[in-house]
Chain A
Amino acid sequence: MENNDIKISTNSLELFYGDIHALKNINVEIEERKVTALIGPSGCGKSTFLKTLNRMNDLIPSVRITGDVYLDNLNVYKQYDIVELRKRVGMVFQKPNPFPMSVYDNIAYGPRIHGIKAKNKLDEAVEKSLRNAALWDEVKDRLKQNALGLSGGQQQRLCIARVLAVEPEVVLMDEPTSALDPISTLKIEDLIDDLKEKYTIVIVTHNMQQAGRISDKTAFFLHGEVVEFDSTEKIFSMPTDKRTEDYITGRFG
């Protein structure tokens, strides 16, 4: 355990949302090529925290952030250019949000934005990303069709493929299966398991079984604080904090 590299770490991270103190003194270390799950009740700050890692909160004018977030020991808010940061830290959202264009153009969007123009390189990137997202076999014959014609589960895997095409190091997932049926959910969970060989994954989930199934480490958020952060096994079998135990066992109210 001790030998694992730390990919992301935070230091006294605080976030204010207008007058609301949404994140309080967050200090966590996220390991490379592991799946880290963030759990907690609605409004506990887990999604907000996730968005500090690729600076998506920058979009909201009333948000104020203090403290530091480090990616590879460099300060995300001070030392990274935002485009470069988001290339390295990709994000998958709660609801599948493909662009209203073809499957191919959806995947090629990222590489194109980042300056790849050659047709063969784009083709390569599209196929590789779709294969990595376990979607290639299903869509290889309809790359030119509108992505919005795919099923919900396929759309979400498309969104994952779209992120992979940018070749990120970290993939953030914000409740990626909450809008999907159980079978699609299972496919995505399998996919996450494959992806962790190459990527550092941080996933927010409402579903505790899911956190138990797929994650290596779990952080429990409550009222904007990290109550407990440990290996998933430990969190789910013998949590140290009473509040974690209450939440895990469903005695939370």
Chain B
Amino acid sequence: MPKPIKKSRKINFYYLKHEFYGKALVTFFGLFLILLTLLLVVFIASKGFSTFTKDHVSPLQFLFSTLWKPDRDLQSGGPVVGALIFIIGSILISVIALIISTPFSIGTAVFMTEISPRLGKKLLQPAIEIFVGIPSVVYGWVGLSVLVPFIHRVFGGLGFSLLAGGIVLAVMIFPTITSVAADALRALPGDYKEASYALGSTRWQTIRKVLVPSALPGILTGVVLGLARAFGEALAVQMVIGNSIRIPGSLLDSTVNLTSIITMDMGNTVNGTVWNNSLWSMALLLLVISFLFIVLIHKIGSKGRVQR
């Protein structure tokens, strides 16, 4: 007669050794991701808020004033840190990048999924992967050594401009939007297409009236992801926009954005000064915006699901 086996001490030790240690380890590292994110938010926030708590800069002034005189001496009224110029710069550059990139991205995504999946797989997919892999400083460098002189010669001005920044970023976010949009188009059920063709629609009509509209939530997700990447890119933009602290009057004017001013000034300012603290506040702003983009993507995603 075999004896009951459960609850013997040997077996419990067996599980401790062969199951629970491992499980505890990987669970710890799973939870570690939460810890890391919290740590990151807390540290950036504690530095970022010091502009408002320690230096008593009003958050409204920080967000909505274009007055940037972080080194003004006390006789003239002390430092002022209004970040609106940088915020506007970031928004303008990202929007220009989106305007340039989105048509190409959607066009390429449609080409890869509907027009020629064979070429899409053999040629465009690898091309996109290489575009993703090219480091941002290399984009910046080509922008600086080719695009900037080109703009200077053809359109006049310095060449360092909003336009140059927008174009460089457009190339950089192109693969993001394209691959997400292509995934969205591929995920459409095949009967959408068949139904449309069965009604006598041409391919173009099917793409325009059925496929792109039905894949819209996915395409929008790609666009938002591209926007997020554009907003946060630092070096490539910094290398080509000229970094003059002003709101640009035209596409050809040089300007500055949040990431550029952080990149340039973080190393030149003394820790604890208003100037330095305001850079941390901008970093916090970037962090908050990046989180907002994710929330937006989730909103788009859940909306897309409801519609379907």
- Once the chains bind, are B14 and A83 in contact (CB under 8 Å)? yes
- Once the chains bind, are B6 and A78 in contact (CB under 8 Å)? yes
Q: Closest chain B residue to A88 by CB distance?
A: B2
A16 at the A/B interface (Cβ < 8 Å)?
Answer: no
In the complex, chain B residues whose CB is within 8 Å of the CB of A74: 2, 4-5
- Once the chains bind, are B6 and A80 in contact (CB under 8 Å)? yes
- Once the chains bind, are B2 and A81 in contact (CB under 8 Å)? no
B188 at the A/B interface (Cβ < 8 Å)?
Answer: no
How many angstroms between the C-alpha atoms of A81 and B6 in the bound complex?
A: 5
B130 at the A/B interface (Cβ < 8 Å)?
Answer: no
> Chain A's interface: helix, strand, loop or mixed, by majority?
loop
B225–chain A nearest beta-carbon distance, Å: 33
Size bin of chain B's contact surface: under 10
B35 at the A/B interface (Cβ < 8 Å)?
Answer: no
How many angstroms between the C-alpha atoms of A74 and B14 in the bound complex?
A: 21
Of B1, B5, B14, the contact of A79 (CB 8 Å cutoff): B5
In the complex, chain B residues whose CB is within 8 Å of the CB of A79: 4-6
Q: Closest chain B residue to A113 by CB distance?
A: B18
B26 at the A/B interface (Cβ < 8 Å)?
Answer: no
A84 at the A/B interface (Cβ < 8 Å)?
Answer: yes
A72 at the A/B interface (Cβ < 8 Å)?
Answer: yes
B interface with A by C-beta (< 8 Å): 1-2, 4-6, 8, 11, 14
Q: Closest chain A residue to B19 by CB distance?
A: A83
In the complex, chain A residues whose CB is within 8 Å of the CB of B1: 72-73
B13–chain A nearest beta-carbon distance, Å: 12
> Chain B's interface: helix, strand, loop or mixed, by majority?
loop
In the complex, chain B residues whose CB is within 8 Å of the CB of A78: 6
A165–chain B nearest beta-carbon distance, Å: 18
Q: Closest chain B residue to A72 by CB distance?
A: B2
In the complex, chain A residues whose CB is within 8 Å of the CB of B5: 74, 79-81, 84
How many angstroms between the C-alpha atoms of A83 and B16 in the bound complex?
A: 13
What would 20 A/B residue contacts be, using CB atoms closer than 8 Å?
A72-B1, A72-B2, A73-B1, A74-B2, A74-B4, A74-B5, A78-B6, A79-B4, A79-B5, A79-B6, A80-B5, A80-B6, A81-B5, A81-B6, A81-B8, A81-B11, A83-B11, A83-B14, A84-B5, A84-B11
B3–chain A nearest beta-carbon distance, Å: 9
How many angstroms between the C-alpha atoms of A83 and B11 in the bound complex?
A: 9
In the complex, chain B residues whose CB is within 8 Å of the CB of A72: 1-2
How many angstroms between the C-alpha atoms of A79 and B14 in the bound complex?
A: 17
B22–chain A nearest beta-carbon distance, Å: 14
Q: Closest chain A residue to B10 by CB distance?
A: A81
How many angstroms between the C-alpha atoms of A83 and B10 in the bound complex?
A: 12
How many angstroms between the C-alpha atoms of A74 and B1 in the bound complex?
A: 10
In the complex, chain A residues whose CB is within 8 Å of the CB of B4: 74, 79
B221–chain A nearest beta-carbon distance, Å: 30
How many angstroms between the C-alpha atoms of A24 and B118 in the bound complex?
A: 53
How many angstroms between the C-alpha atoms of A84 and B269 in the bound complex?
A: 66
In the complex, chain B residues whose CB is within 8 Å of the CB of A80: 5-6
How many angstroms between the C-alpha atoms of A250 and B36 in the bound complex?
A: 64
In the complex, chain B residues whose CB is within 8 Å of the CB of A81: 5-6, 8, 11
Among B1, B5, B11, which residue has the most Cβ atoms of chain A within 10 A?
A: B5
How many angstroms between the C-alpha atoms of A74 and B4 in the bound complex?
A: 7
In the complex, chain B residues whose CB is within 8 Å of the CB of A83: 11, 14
